[in-house]
Amino acid sequence: MVQDPAVGVWSTCKPPVYGTARPAPCSRVRPITSNGSVYRFKGADGFERTLIQSLGQVNGLVGRLEWIVDDFGNLTHQQFIKGGSINGVPNLP
């Protein structure tokens, strides 16, 4: 586990996958890290990144919210996994 790696992360946000869902706070990721589980993992390209996962709901569906932050502080991924659990692995339920 990594403690608060994303303080001051700035991002360009992608629109939410599930239509009317509001995206995670785009300008700062700190509120996410204070409520989520934080992991480090190595991507297929060999670079390490920070994965933040938190249980939540989108449009009434229960699941996991996740964000990936690169070492430059860019939010590179945000996704809702319907029915997902906290597992430290991106994109897998």
Collapsing DSSP to helix, strand or coil, 3 comes out as coil
Output the six-digit token pair for 3. 């403690």
Q: Cβ(78)–Cβ(24) under 8 Å?
A: yes
Segments in the chain below pLDDT 50: 1-16, 18-30
Q: Cβ(47)–Cβ(70) under 8 Å?
A: yes
pLDDT at 62: 92
pLDDT at 51: 94
The answer, as to whether pTM is greater than 0.75, is no
Q: Cβ(57)–Cβ(71) under 8 Å?
A: no
pLDDT at 81: 92
Output the six-digit token pair for 40. 């480090």
pLDDT at 32: 62
